[in-house]
Chain A
Amino acid sequence: MLRRAEFWGGLFWLALGAFVTWQGWLLELGTLNEPGSGFVFFWLGLFMSALALSITVAGARGDGPLLADLWRGARWRNVVMVIAALIAFGALFQQLGFVICSLALLLFLMTFVDPVSPKLSIPISLVASVGVWYVLEKVLLVQLPKGSWLEDVPYLSWLAG
């Protein structure tokens, strides 16, 4: 039972359903004449819980694939690396600005996730990050983070405006 993917999937949604129901209760249900802010949350939470419970029970009875089967033969390290790179991008976006962050992201993905020859990855990353920055900032006038850490760095301060 504990190795079944359906069981764990159902359990996750069951917990979420219970949480939504509880939040709905806290937000106040109101009356049928005048439903409160939590009315829809409460009933939706119960609905979610009921559906999730049926999925959990079916999973516990042995329906569906095993948890390990879902990643058998998959290059799951690529997924982890991409997620980590995106989180790092989000965390440093304001500090390093768009150009440095996107350049680093592209180089990382083309070097470590699905490797491409440096002869290709370096020019593509440079052209893409500077090109997109130019089009957005100068042509479409979309403001991108300029990089608060770059303001005093020689040769790079132009990026910070």
Chain B
Amino acid sequence: MDVLSGLAQGFAVALDPINLLYCFIGVFIGTLVGVLPGIGPISAMSLLLPVTLSGSPESGIIMMAGIYYGSMYGGSTTAVLVNIPGEAASVVTCLDGHEMAKRGRAGPALGIAALGSFVAGTFAIVALMLVAPMLAKVAVAFGPPEYFSLMVLGLTILSFLTQGSMAKALLMAAVGVVIGLIGLDQINAMPRLTFDRLELVDGIGLVPVVMGLFGVAEILANIEQQIRRDIVQSRIGSLLPSREDLKASAGPVGRGTLLGFLLGVLPGGGAVIASFASYAIEKKLSRTPERFGKGAIEGVAGPEAANNAAAGGAFIPLMTLGIPPNVIMALLLGAFVIHGLQPGPLMMSQNPKVFWGIVASMYVGNVMLLVLNMPLIGMWVQVLKAPYKILFPLILMFCIVGVFASGNAVFDVFVMIGTGLLGYLMRKFGYEAAPLVLAFVLGPMLENNLRKSLILSQGSFDIFVMRPISVACLALAALLLIAPLLPALRKKREKVALDVTE
């Protein structure tokens, strides 16, 4: 099936009225959670994972994907108007976006964020459409050693790019694998770390772990501080950027799109890193870097394009290799599995309706976001005025409902409470949750492929270094692992972490 006929089939799926409705609900909820600080796409997708069961696979996954890229749009609104990132990828938008708003230029800041996001999102979909079939053909040749090495590389990249101590990030990845392996051994059905509890035989569910580490932990971290929101009171004005704004933003949007897409494809990369990298590049390339942080439109256009392109790019490793490059894609993998689908190289040939339906729905969703969100800015501002003291109890209740509905077990609610407390303490002690969750998802696959490789090679580790793709992944992972020990590279990594903190 060639790309055009695939796309035609995809549009037939995406334009089905029920799928249009799911897409709309997805982008609407995505924008809402992007706008609201304290609840991000991860929590929203975990909450709605059980709801997708009531529809067809393509409807459910179209909605989940919509939440993801919708939240990238919505996050910028909060960043510009309140100086609080609605979700992590919008942290950098606060720097210049809010400064523009304080100077009475909130409209152009929001407008360029929406336009940049649209351009980048569209580019990412076109690239996904063209690259995915090619990569799927290559991925058919992947065996257990390649999959194992690629997952090791993904976890290493994520640990390397994590803010702060790499030892802590690697430790969290190891803990994630251990938690992911709780339950029956996939090869010989031996129960592991189940402590004779029936609830643990099938392993620990993804939804309670994610809701605990991200949803509950976020709330616990927020309620111990006084949250003060300083919403820009002046009129937002016209959202259309001026000709000068568009001229100044064209380059940053182009560069941000390309960079974001490449970082999105990379296992362990993602929207947050893409937006920071784009900001750093734009500041470096600018003839007037002193304007950055004081309301430079390039500082909004580049990062917003980058985080949206990364959101699109992240679908490639999931759809073609079956490997989620970040936590959000891990949740999407969960949605595929719930519907009995296995993303990977054969997905396009075995389930073309689902694959192309999702691709086409992303075009539709991007247009919906642009058409709906620009006129709805006023409504999102009203949403932002809802006090956190009312929002957090409701979010907690939704967390409980989502977790319970995902497995119909009170045990899962306790898992969520336990991981919530763990996540809160991890924040306090400077341990990041993202490597843990990604490793939790990849853990069973990682172990399975390691053991299969060793059985295939009759116990020889040569199998990992005799295959070119595998050895390339492992060599890169090794380089990243030793990088913090080299003084020059360590300084560079620390600088990136410092930029992120600032």
Question: Which residue numbers of A lie inside 8 Å of B, CB to CB?
Answer: 5-6, 9, 13, 16-17, 20, 23, 27, 31-41, 44-45, 47-48, 51-52, 54-55, 64, 70-71, 74-76, 78-79, 82-83, 86-87, 89-90, 93-94, 98, 102, 105-106, 109-110, 113-116, 120, 124-125, 128-129, 132, 136, 140-145
Give complex CA distance A148, B410 in Å: 14
**Which B residue sits closest to A89, measured CB to CB?**
B400
Name A's interface SS: helix
Q: Write out the residue numbers on chain B whose beta carbons fall within 8 Å of the beta carbon of A86.
A: 216, 396, 400, 413, 417, 420
**Which of A34, A36, A75, A94 has a CB less than 8 Å from the CB of B225?**
A75
Given contacts A48-B171, A79-B424, A132-B398, 4 further A-B contacts (CB under 8 A): A70-B429, A79-B223, A87-B417, A106-B397
Q: Is the CB of A55 within 8 A of B175?
A: no
**Which of B187, B431, B454 has a CB less than 8 Å from the CB of A32?**
B454
Give complex CA distance A98, B398 in Å: 12
Cβ < 8 Å to A, chain B residues 386-401: 387-390, 392-394, 396-398, 400-401
**Which B residue sits closest to A34, measured CB to CB?**
B455
Give complex CA distance A128, B175 in Å: 37
Q: Write out the residue numbers on chain A whose beta carbons fall within 8 Å of the beta carbon of B388.
A: 114
Q: Write out the residue numbers on chain A whose beta carbons fall within 8 Å of the beta carbon of B220.
A: 79, 82-83
**Which A residue sits closest to B398, measured CB to CB?**
A132
**Which of A75, A78, A128 has a CB less than 8 Å from the CB of B397?**
A128
- Distance (whole angstroms) from the CB of A17 to the closest CB of chain B: 8
Q: Is the CB of B223 within 8 A of A113?
A: yes
Q: Is the CB of A79 within 8 A of B224?
A: yes
Q: Write out the residue numbers on chain A whose beta carbons fall within 8 Å of the beta carbon of B483.
A: none
Q: Is the CB of B174 within 8 A of A48?
A: yes
Question: 9 tightest CB-CB pairs across the interface, nearest first?
Answer: A32-B459, A114-B389, A109-B393, A33-B459, A9-B429, A74-B224, A37-B190, A51-B171, A37-B185
Q: Is the CB of A75 within 8 A of B167?
A: no
Give complex CA distance A32, B454 in Å: 6
Q: Write out the residue numbers on chain B whose beta carbons fall within 8 Å of the beta carbon of A70.
A: 428-429
Q: Is the CB of B192 within 8 A of A106?
A: no
Q: Write out the residue numbers on chain B whose beta carbons fall within 8 Å of the beta carbon of A83.
A: 220, 417, 420-421
Q: Write out the residue numbers on chain A whose beta carbons fall within 8 Å of the beta carbon of B458.
A: 33
**Which B residue sits closest to A105, measured CB to CB?**
B397
Q: Write out the residue numbers on chain A whose beta carbons fall within 8 Å of the beta carbon of B390.
A: 110, 116, 120, 124
What 0/1 readout, one digit per residue, does chain B (202-221) give for beta carbons within 8 Å of chain A? Answer: 00000000000000100110
Give complex CA distance A17, B177 in Å: 12
**Which of B174, B396, B417, B430 has a CB less than 8 Å from the CB of A105?**
B396
**Which B residue sits closest to A107, measured CB to CB?**
B393
**Which of B174, B224, B392, B420 has a CB less than 8 Å from the CB of A44?**
B174
- Distance (whole angstroms) from the CB of B281 to the closest CB of chain A: 32
Q: Known contacts A52-B171, A102-B400; is A5 also within 8 Å of B447 by CB?
A: no
Give complex CA distance A36, B190 in Å: 10
Q: Does B450 belong to the interface (CB within 8 Å)?
A: yes
Give me 16 A-to-B residue pairs in the complex whose CB atoms sit less than 8 angstroms apart, sorted by A's number.
A32-B454, A35-B450, A35-B454, A37-B188, A37-B190, A38-B192, A55-B167, A74-B225, A83-B220, A83-B417, A90-B417, A93-B410, A106-B393, A129-B397, A136-B405, A142-B50
Q: Does B56 belong to the interface (CB within 8 Å)?
A: no
What 0/1 readout, one digit per residue, does chain B (236-260) give for beta carbons within 8 Å of chain A? Answer: 0000000000000000000000000
**Which A residue sits closest to B458, measured CB to CB?**
A33
